[in-house]
Amino acid sequence: MQLENTIQEFKAYLERIIMYSQAMSILSFDSETIAPEGGLENRAKRAGFFELEIFNMAVSSTMKGFLEALEPHQNELDVHTKAMYRLAKKDYDEATKLPPELVKAYAELTEESASVWRKARTENNYKAFSPYLKRIIDMKKQVLTLRASEIPEGGQPYDIFLDDFEEGMTIKKYDDFFEKLKATVIPLIKKVAASKKKIDTSFANTKVDIATQRKISELLANHVGYDLNRGYIGEAMHPFCNGSHKTDIRITTHYYENDFMSSLYSVMHEIGHAIYEQNVGDDIADTTLGDGASSGIHESQSRLYENVIGRNLAFWEYIIDELKSLLPKEFASVTPQMFYEAANESKPSLIRVEADELTYSLHVIIRYEIEKMIFSGEVDVDDLPAIWNQKYQEYLGITPPDDADGVMQDVHWSEGLFGYFPTYALGSAYAAQMLHYMNKEFNIDELILKGEFSKITAWLTDKIHKHGSIYTPNQLIEQAFGEQLNGEYYAKYLEDKFSKLYQL
């Protein structure tokens, strides 16, 4: 009876945290979309207040009491309560292991360095940024020392950061995954570059006014199954998905008049994230389990909708008539094959966020390999630009002309985010693995051609969406497919797709 009471109180306590987080989430959507410039100071103050409230609740003596009371009973807990306990304990341990002075100093440093990075990038001045990067890395190394007990057996300190963003992932697993991927992708890129096949992308720059592009976004949502009764498509500088509760999952996009495909694929990407969160089980929607399992699994859903579905010939065959009814003059002579080819043109480029599906993973691999070197002490911050450029030359056959479009292009390191990049590649690999198993049960191209997206979503909901964050990524994948992450499907998917497209 006493345990029952503790569980009820624990859940009620977590629900209060969830309410604050949901409010925070809406505030953050507001500030990134329509909030007036003049309110910046008050918004920052308000966000700080809620953030501190949530943090204090997660590390309070009340929370400590719950965790201690539940610890000896872990095996008696039902699946949901056990998962809530696991997540709360992880947060608690992480937040209480570090001295408050270090947390504060780190928050101040990353706040400052993010703005230093912005300026340094604009001015192409790595020397202005590198002292900050050095301090961030030093502090990150201190954190790793304090968390040394979390290093997996036979592992290294950097493993801790990898696990932070994708529970269960290690250097060993990523090395294995990336080495195999490189063995397929690097030669494939060379073959594509040498191919005689030329892709016409000129019509992709046809001017499409923003009002029409908004209609295209809605059309995509309605066809693919993003429920706008529980969703909203806003506009922001950088597209994102903002989920507070399964009944209110919003996305944003950015429209460019002369590049309608940019927003089209951003929308498909964010729709993938949104459909995931709209379909978590009703039984966990109000709990701490009501969002995605991990960054990698979340990214698998966005990549699946963006690439597997959206960059598929069947998709263009299905959607073309409606697109032409919106733009009869502009696209009168454009065929589905032309759209398909333009959406998949592949060539080595310098900027990760603009990379095509084939070359994308190499951008991630380069960052991963450099991060590994940083935390094993093999490299000095001053040498990073040279190492970066050398890896771009080796893997992609191009050298950045400057550091702004080289080592300084991403915001992540300036915010202290190490161990995050590899999850971007995981997303694509999980998506290809899902595609493999989906195709065993039905032919996905046929469903897309007929517009039967609801069957695809239902399958994904059953395997992935409805479980929210009950399971770790490994458990979730293993439970759904009877095996853990297997990068071979991704390598084969790329090989098949690009060999066909470039007639190799």
Distance CA(275)–CA(267), nearest Å, equals 12
Distance CA(243)–CA(282), nearest Å, equals 15
Distance CA(76)–CA(13), nearest Å, equals 20
- Residue 235, classed as helix, strand or coil, is strand
Report the residue number, 274 or 370, with the smaller CB distance to Zn ion: 274
Alpha helices by DSSP H, 279-356: 295-303, 313-326, 336-343
**Minimum CB separation from Zn ion for residue 415, in Å?**
17
Q: Which of residues 322-341 bind Zn ion (CB under 5 A)?
A: none
Residue type at 438 in one-letter notation: M
Rounded alpha-carbon distances, angstroms, from residue 480 to 173, 327, 351, 434, 473 = 20, 42, 34, 9, 11
Distance CA(439)–CA(434), nearest Å, equals 9
What DSSP string runs through 208-276?
A: --HHHHHHHHHHHHHHHT--GGGEEEEE-SS--EEEEETTEEEEEE---TT-HHHHHHHHHHHHHHHHH
Q: Torsion-angle region of residue 125: left (phi > 0), alpha (psi -120 to 50) or beta?
A: beta
Residue type at 435 in one-letter notation: L
Report the residue number, 159 or 306, with the smaller CB distance to Zn ion: 306
Q: Tell me how far the alpha carbon of residue 450 is from its chain's centroid.
A: 29
Report the residue number, 287 or 409, with the smaller CB distance to Zn ion: 409
Q: Catalytic residue among 166, 167, 270, 371, which?
A: 270
270 is catalytic: yes
DSSP type of residue 290:
S
Report the residue number, 113 or 423, with the smaller CB distance to Zn ion: 423
Q: Taking CB under 5 A as the rule, does residue 472 contact Zn ion?
A: no
Rounded alpha-carbon distances, angstroms, from residue 266 to 181, 230, 235, 353, 494 = 25, 19, 11, 11, 21
Q: Torsion-angle region of residue 24: left (phi > 0), alpha (psi -120 to 50) or beta?
A: alpha
- Residue 180, classed as helix, strand or coil, is helix
Q: Which of 81, 263, 266, 302 binds Zn ion (CB under 5 A)?
A: 302
Report the residue number, 298 or 391, with the smaller CB distance to Zn ion: 298
**Minimum CB separation from Zn ion for residue 226, in Å?**
14
Stretch that binds Zn ion, among 10-18, 80-88, 296-304, 414-422 (CB under 5 A): 296-304
Stretch that binds Zn ion, among 209-217, 300-308, 362-370, 389-397 (CB under 5 A): 300-308
Report the residue number, 302 or 457, with the smaller CB distance to Zn ion: 302
Q: Which of residues 89-118 bind Zn ion (CB under 5 A)?
A: none
Residue type at 261 in one-letter notation: M
- Residue 280, classed as helix, strand or coil, is coil
Stretch that binds Zn ion, among 167-175, 295-303, 338-346, 485-493 (CB under 5 A): 295-303
**Minimum CB separation from Zn ion for residue 358, in Å?**
18
- Give the count of residues interacting with Zn ion (CB under 5 A): 1
Report the residue number, 302 or 359, with the smaller CB distance to Zn ion: 302
| Strand order across the 248-253 sheet | 231-235, 248-253, 241-245
Distance CA(165)–CA(79), nearest Å, equals 22
Report the residue number, 270 or 341, with the smaller CB distance to Zn ion: 270
Report the residue number, 302 or 461, with the smaller CB distance to Zn ion: 302
**Minimum CB separation from Zn ion for residue 276, in Å?**
10
2-33 vs 40-59: helix axis angle to the nearest 10? 160
**Minimum CB separation from Zn ion for residue 251, in Å?**
10
Distance CA(31)–CA(33), nearest Å, equals 6
**Minimum CB separation from Zn ion for residue 238, in Å?**
11
Neighbouring CB atoms inside 10 A of 45's CB total: 9
Stretch that binds Zn ion, among 126-134, 302-310, 362-370, 484-492 (CB under 5 A): 302-310
Q: Point out the residue whose Cβ comes nearest to Zn ion.
A: 302
**Minimum CB separation from Zn ion for residue 427, in Å?**
7
Stretch that binds Zn ion, among 294-302, 394-402, 454-462, 493-501 (CB under 5 A): 294-302
**Minimum CB separation from Zn ion for residue 318, in Å?**
23
Stretch that binds Zn ion, among 49-57, 120-128, 301-309, 446-454 (CB under 5 A): 301-309
Q: Taking CB under 5 A as the rule, does residue 242 contact Zn ion?
A: no
Cβ–Cβ < 8 Å for 74, 85: yes
Binding site for Zn ion (CB under 5 A): 302
Q: Which residues are catalytic?
A: 270
